[in-house]
Structure 1
Amino acid sequence: MRVSAVVALAAGLFASGSGVSASEQPPAAQPAATRLNEPGTGPQLHISSDEAVRLALENNLGIEAARLSPEIQAFAVAQTRAAYAPNLFSTASRSSRSRPPTEFLSGGEGIRVNTSEGFSSSAGVQQNLLWGGGRYSVSLDGGRTTTNNPFDQVNPNITSNFTFNFTQPLLRNFTIDPTRQALLVGQKQQEIVDVQLEQQITQTARSVRLTYLTLVAAISQLEVAQESLALSQQLLRNNELRLEAGVMAPIDIVEAQAEVASREEGVIVAETRIRTLEDELRTLIMRPDQPDYWTARIIPSEQPQLTPQAVDVEAAVANALNNRTDLLQARKRLEQTDINMRGARNQRLPDINALVNYGLVGVAGTQREFDYDAGILPPPIRTETQRSFSGALRDIFGNEFRTWSVQLQVNYPIGTSIADAALAQSRIQRQQGVTELQQLELNVARQVRDAARQVDTSLRRVEATERSRSLMQQRFEAEEKRMSVGLSTTFQLFQAQRDLSNARLAELNAIIAYNQALLNLETVQRAPMGGS
Structure 2
Amino acid sequence: MSRSGFIQQTFAIIIVAALVLAYVPPVQAQTEAQAQTAAEDTTLLYTTILERAVKDGKARDLRLNDCIDLALRKNLSIEINSYRPLVQQQSLLAANGVYDYTMNVDGTYQNMEAPITDILRQEVLGISEYKSSAYDLNFTFSRYLPTGGTATLSFLNSRDASNTNLYNPTYSGRMTAQFVQPLLKNRVLDANRRTIQLARKDQKISDIDFENQVSTVIKSVEDTYWDLVNAIEQQRIQIQSAELAMIQLRDNQKRVEIGTLAPIVITQTRAEVAQAIQRVIAAEASIIQTENGLKNAITDDPNDPIWDEFLIPVDKPEIPSEIPDLQGAVELAYKNRPEIRSLNVELEKDDIDIKYYNSQTKPRLDFTAYIGPNGAASPNLKVAVLDEYGNPVLGPDGQPLYQDSDQFTGGLGKVYEQIFGFDYLDWSLKFNFQYIFGNDAAKAQLAIARLGKDQNRANLKQTFQNVRVDVLNAIQTIEVNRKSLYSATIARQFQEEQLTGQNKRFQAGLATNFEVLQTQRDLADARAAELRSLINLKKSIVALNNSTFTLLTQNQLEIALTR
Give the TM-score category using the shorter length. 0.7 to 0.9
By how many angstroms is 1:384 displaced? Answer: 8.8
* Alignment of 1:122 onto 2:145: no
* Alignment of 1:87 onto 2:102: yes
Hey, what does 1:399 align to over in structure 2?
422
In 2, the alpha carbon distance for the partners of 1:156 and 1:266 equals: 107
Hey, what does 2:310 align to over in structure 1?
297
The amino acid that maps onto 1:72 is: V
By how many angstroms is 1:221 displaced? Answer: 0.4
By how many angstroms is 1:84 displaced? Answer: 1.6
* Alignment of 1:179 onto 2:192: yes
Q: Deviations over 1:399-425 (max 9, x none)?
A: 121111111111122233432222121
Hey, what does 1:418 align to over in structure 2?
441
Match of 1:477 among 493, 500, 515: 500
Q: Deviations over 1:434-454 (max 9, x none)?
A: 111111111111111011100
Match of 2:91 among 73, 76, 97: 76
Alpha carbons 2:49, 2:284 under 8 Å: kept: no
The amino acid that maps onto 1:486 is: G
The amino acid that maps onto 2:142 is: Q
- Mapping of 1:213-362 within 5 angstroms? 213-236=226-249, 239=252, 247-288=260-301, 291-362=304-375
Hey, what does 1:387 align to over in structure 2?
410
What's the secondary structure of 2:275's corresponding residue? helix
What's the secondary structure of 1:294's corresponding residue? helix
When structure 1 is superposed on structure 2, of 294-303 and 387-396 the one drifting more is 387-396
Hey, what does 1:44 align to over in structure 2?
59
* Alignment of 1:433 onto 2:456: yes
In 1, the alpha carbon distance for the partners of 2:144 and 2:437 equals: 28
The amino acid that maps onto 1:86 is: Y
Structure 2 unaligned residues grouped into runs of 5+: 17-22, 24-41, 385-399, 553-563
Alpha carbons 2:357, 2:446 under 8 Å: kept: yes
In 2, the alpha carbon distance for the partners of 1:340 and 1:401 equals: 47
By how many angstroms is 1:361 displaced? Answer: 1.4
In 2, the alpha carbon distance for the partners of 1:106 and 1:450 equals: 103
Change (3 A) 1:351 1:57: same
Alpha carbons 1:106, 1:114 under 8 Å: kept: no
Alpha carbons 2:245, 2:520 under 8 Å: kept: no
By how many angstroms is 1:104 displaced? Answer: 7.2
Change (3 A) 1:147 1:445: same
When structure 1 is superposed on structure 2, of 162-171 and 240-249 the one drifting more is 240-249
When structure 1 is superposed on structure 2, of 228-237 and 470-479 the one drifting more is 228-237
Alpha carbons 1:325, 1:528 under 8 Å: kept: no
Q: TM-score, normalised by structure 2?
A: 0.81
When structure 1 is superposed on structure 2, of 245-254 and 395-404 the one drifting more is 245-254
In 1, the alpha carbon distance for the partners of 2:308 and 2:121 equals: 96
In 1, the alpha carbon distance for the partners of 2:187 and 2:551 equals: 41
In 2, the alpha carbon distance for the partners of 1:343 and 1:502 equals: 67
In 2, the alpha carbon distance for the partners of 1:2 and 1:269 equals: 23
By how many angstroms is 1:63 displaced? Answer: 2.1
What's the secondary structure of 2:184's corresponding residue? coil
Hey, what does 1:489 align to over in structure 2?
512
When structure 1 is superposed on structure 2, of 381-390 and 85-94 the one drifting more is 381-390
In 2, the alpha carbon distance for the partners of 1:445 and 1:478 equals: 49
Hey, what does 1:17 align to over in structure 2?
none
The amino acid that maps onto 2:213 is: Q
In 2, the alpha carbon distance for the partners of 1:440 and 1:282 equals: 34
By how many angstroms is 1:349 displaced? Answer: 1.0
By how many angstroms is 1:209 displaced? Answer: 1.1
Alpha carbons 2:224, 2:290 under 8 Å: kept: yes
Alpha carbons 2:53, 2:59 under 8 Å: kept: no
The amino acid that maps onto 2:98 is: A
Alpha carbons 2:99, 2:144 under 8 Å: kept: yes
* Alignment of 1:31 onto 2:54: no
The amino acid that maps onto 2:200 is: Q
In 1, the alpha carbon distance for the partners of 2:141 and 2:293 equals: 59
Tell me the C-alpha RMSD between the 2 structures: 3.3
* Alignment of 1:465 onto 2:485: no
Query: Identity, % of aligned pairs?
Result: 26
* Alignment of 1:62 onto 2:85: no
The amino acid that maps onto 1:464 is: S
* Alignment of 1:137 onto 2:160: no
Alpha carbons 1:203, 1:527 under 8 Å: kept: no
Change (3 A) 1:106 1:443: farther
Change (3 A) 1:497 1:80: same
Q: TM-score, normalised by structure 1?
A: 0.86
By how many angstroms is 1:500 displaced? Answer: 0.8
What's the secondary structure of 1:211's corresponding residue? helix
The amino acid that maps onto 2:535 is: I
By how many angstroms is 1:268 displaced? Answer: 2.5
In 2, the alpha carbon distance for the partners of 1:484 and 1:47 equals: 45
Q: Deviations over 1:6-25 (max 9, x none)?
A: 979x99xx9xxxxxx9xxxx
Alpha carbons 2:323, 2:479 under 8 Å: kept: no
In 2, the alpha carbon distance for the partners of 1:395 and 1:104 equals: 39
In 1, the alpha carbon distance for the partners of 2:528 and 2:258 equals: 37
Change (3 A) 1:463 1:105: farther
In 1, the alpha carbon distance for the partners of 2:127 and 2:288 equals: 101
